[in-house]
A and B are shown apart, each in its own frame.
Chain A
């Protein structure tokens, strides 16, 4: 038995080294193409994902991590109930847009204004997600299709609103007016990191508790494993579908609100779509095999990769395209690696779920 374990461990070590080597080779080749200095590029990558003066870049990574983790949680709770809500992007955009509008009109209410803006962002995201639920349950549109297609109206309605009726014309960009400082999410002392990450952490704790300790968590897990089992066991399946989608949409909406109130302080067309927060969140959730415990780490990983790539571009003059390709390659290798580990350890990993 121990012999087997030894060879297994050796195998894993060799495999990891091989993976690392192949990543390095590909990156080296790409940097060679881009005519960049290899060591400078790598230093730039690491420095700008977790370093910087007064750790400024690390805080940027954290701020991104909050958004990606939030979207990963939103995807995860829907997926674990067997609901393939891939409309996180639309829910995120709607949430961000609504809290920008609410934020602009509640400037005088201070903290209450912030809470109102956050709450309305969450409500908007939830309603957007429920819309795909209604399409599924009452019209027979598969959730996968319905939730995906609802991304487009969200994106283009927001695009229209901030390009025409609500545009800050003088800024020269399709975006809303800047929010008054009174509704900005506060920063941590001496940093440019807003408290959004705390909100996401609270959401994370909340989801941990309800998924492990409550009837809802128990029911939705069973429904995710077998819908037919849930139905025959007499679970309120329709209710679980709507509750889950509302929750998932609300979290996505909250992420949009945080991006608006904490980071950009206005809604700019495409600002939530182009960084692919929603899709990255889905990949992060799948990468950890829908295991809640792995979510923060996955969120950090994806955030670090993306700020790192941006830093490489800035410091080592690696073109943005190459930096993006490098980012994608690292993700592919890591996901592939974890994927193969995950499928082997599903049976052992699941049993310590409670």
Chain B
């Protein structure tokens, strides 16, 4: 189905979220919509999907003007959307979720599960999808849940699939499988609109790319008439500063020395973990998420007890200390989940910026807080990290993802700890903020901080770290030093562990 949006304008109060944007997507085309957070990507899609009806401009389907009063109308017309946060019911089965809201019933009002099952089986065999229809959604991985969402659309015979940041939650392997399915849909003449801010994906799979910035249409072009650099520049609106890296500058002093620590993971790995980080060194830990990185981090910061071994911070064994003591002794930590672990969303910026520093004489006097100093400090962080927010009293909830992350990074990097553990610092944020945060990490490296960078992004590991380990099923690989095959070696280990050699033909997207 050919859809087109003409001159769409959406206002939120005084803020113009989308400003006269037009967009055309053809049948059998993968149309990528890219832009930073807050560029208006999701807003314009909510217009097409009928969940935002307060706009001006026209929606056309196959050349005919249409209007929806709710997503129900859009769904009926063949438009389906998978939201970034899935809309599934955890304690229902896959089958029940797929049919929910769209049940076939017989004359007695009972649901015709057998017919439904046959229909769904038909779909999943046609697209070579593998999923157990009787599994509870709660027991599925994130990638499988996404598949359920997509089957839902296929089951409703949607001809236009809108996918909001679909790969944010996928591992590289799962992403390949997912892209393979998208190509199948494309071959079936479906229209796919892909909202993303990963340019590499756009280059991989899209046919057409539309760039939005600050609610305005910047460009809309066929992929073969543009290139990666051009798109990045259009997204950010300026040139992205190149990372200023001083490499190999670390000193021969051990900050963190992990010896024979056995961490408890879901894998039966009993292999001891050993590694050390020197002053001014960045050690990367790569790996597909869910291979024990979380458990390793929790063990290091004291949320999880290690059963054995030593964790030496500046030559003192901290394995029996709690998080509070470890932080005081000099570990700071940027957690991946900023909304749950990194910030208190309902509190203000200053309350979030100072939480790890309250015992500092500058910020408290006995039991009492010195709020003025706390706010002044927050103001200085806002300035230094270029955080877009309405001052230290603003609620964190009102900030965008990138700015939230900057706030977490600002707090932890300003702690003057000798060791900082950073977990996926650029997860789900825009390119501008990514470049900024990477530069800040390099800056504290130069200042002599030891850094443990745990990331699922291979590029992040290879561009920032001095050497890296790969975590696979609860064990750590040998140390991989920065060198000729750095990237390839890490990639191999990530996908297939440390023994077997990975061959590109070894994964079948059909499985």
Contact = CB atoms under 8 A, between A and B. Distances in A.
A82 to B, nearest CB: 11
B355 A213 contact: no
Contact of B368 (A213, A219, A230, A233): A213
A99 B371 CA distance: 39
Contacts of A213: 368-369, 371
A6 interface: no
A347 B369 contact: no
B341 A225 contact: no
Contacts of B368: 213-215
B240 interface: no
Give 10 closest A-B pairs by Cβ, nearest first.
A234-B327, A225-B344, A234-B324, A225-B346, A234-B323, A233-B355, A232-B341, A222-B344, A214-B367, A229-B344
B235 to A, nearest CB: 29
B345 A351 contact: no
Interface in B210-266: none
Contacts of B346: 225, 350
Nearest to B14: A1
B347 interface: yes
B323 A218 contact: no
A351 B350 CA distance: 11
Interface stretch (B196-204, B393-401, B487-495): B393-401
A206 to B, nearest CB: 13
A234 B332 CA distance: 10
A219 B342 CA distance: 15
B393 A354 contact: yes
Nearest to A223: B344
Given A234-B323, A347-B395, A215 B364 contact: yes
Interface string A145-184: 0000000000000000000000000000000000000000
Contacts of B328: 234
B340 interface: yes
Nearest to A238: B322
A218 B327 contact: no
A351 B351 contact: no
A22 interface: no
A228 B347 contact: no
B348 A353 contact: yes
A294 interface: no
A210 B346 CA distance: 19
A150 B351 CA distance: 35
B345 A226 contact: yes
A235 B355 contact: yes
B356 interface: yes
A152 B371 CA distance: 43
23 contacts: A213-B369, A215-B367, A215-B368, A215-B369, A218-B351, A218-B369, A221-B351, A225-B344, A225-B346, A225-B347, A226-B341, A226-B344, A226-B345, A229-B344, A231-B323, A232-B303, A232-B341, A233-B327, A234-B327, A347-B397, A351-B393, A351-B395, A353-B348
A216 interface: yes
Interface residues of A, number: 25
Interface of A: 1, 213-216, 218-219, 221-222, 225-226, 228-236, 347, 350-351, 353-354
Chain B interface size, as a band, is 20 to 34
A225 B347 CA distance: 8
B8 interface: no
B175 interface: no
A225 to B, nearest CB: 4
Given A213-B368, A234-B356, A347-B398, 6 more contacts: A213-B371, A218-B351, A225-B347, A228-B341, A351-B393, A353-B348
A214 B326 CA distance: 23
B344 A234 contact: no
Interface string B327-361: 11000010100001111111110010001101000
Nearest to B371: A354
Chain B contact surface mostly:
mixed
B195 interface: no
Given A234-B356, A351-B393, A354-B393, A229 B371 contact: no
B351 A233 contact: no
Q: In this complex, which of B323, B333, B398 has the most chain A Cβ atoms within 10 angstroms of its Cβ?
A: B323
A348 B255 CA distance: 45
Contacts of A215: 358, 364, 367-369
Contacts of B343: 226, 229
B378 to A, nearest CB: 12
Contacts of A234: 323-324, 326-328, 356
Nearest to B335: A232
A232 B348 CA distance: 18
A228 B393 contact: no
Contacts of A231: 303, 323
Given A233-B356, A236-B324, A226 B340 contact: yes
B351 A228 contact: no
B353 to A, nearest CB: 11
B301 interface: yes
A137 to B, nearest CB: 14
Contacts of B327: 233-234
B40 to A, nearest CB: 22
B367 A216 contact: yes
Nearest to A219: B358
A216 B358 CA distance: 11
A251 B424 CA distance: 44
A191 to B, nearest CB: 38
Q: In this complex, which of A221, A232, A354 has the most chain B Cβ atoms within 10 angstroms of its Cβ?
A: A232
Nearest to A348: B395
Contacts of A216: 367
Nearest to B350: A354
A228 B358 contact: no
Given A232-B333, A233-B356, A222 B301 contact: no
Nearest to A209: B368
A236 B14 CA distance: 43
B341 A229 contact: yes
A229 B340 contact: yes
A244 to B, nearest CB: 15
A180 to B, nearest CB: 39
A345 B419 CA distance: 41
Nearest to B343: A229
Given A215-B364, A216-B367, A236-B324, A228 B340 contact: yes
B489 to A, nearest CB: 32
A221 B356 contact: no
A213 B369 CA distance: 6
A214 B14 contact: no
Interface in B287-305: 301, 303
A229 B342 CA distance: 6
Contacts of A236: 324
B395 A350 contact: yes
B377 to A, nearest CB: 14
Contacts of B323: 231-232, 234
Interface string B3-19: 00000000000100000
A218 B395 CA distance: 15
Contacts of B14: 1
A214 B365 CA distance: 9
Contacts of A232: 301, 303, 323, 333, 335, 341-342
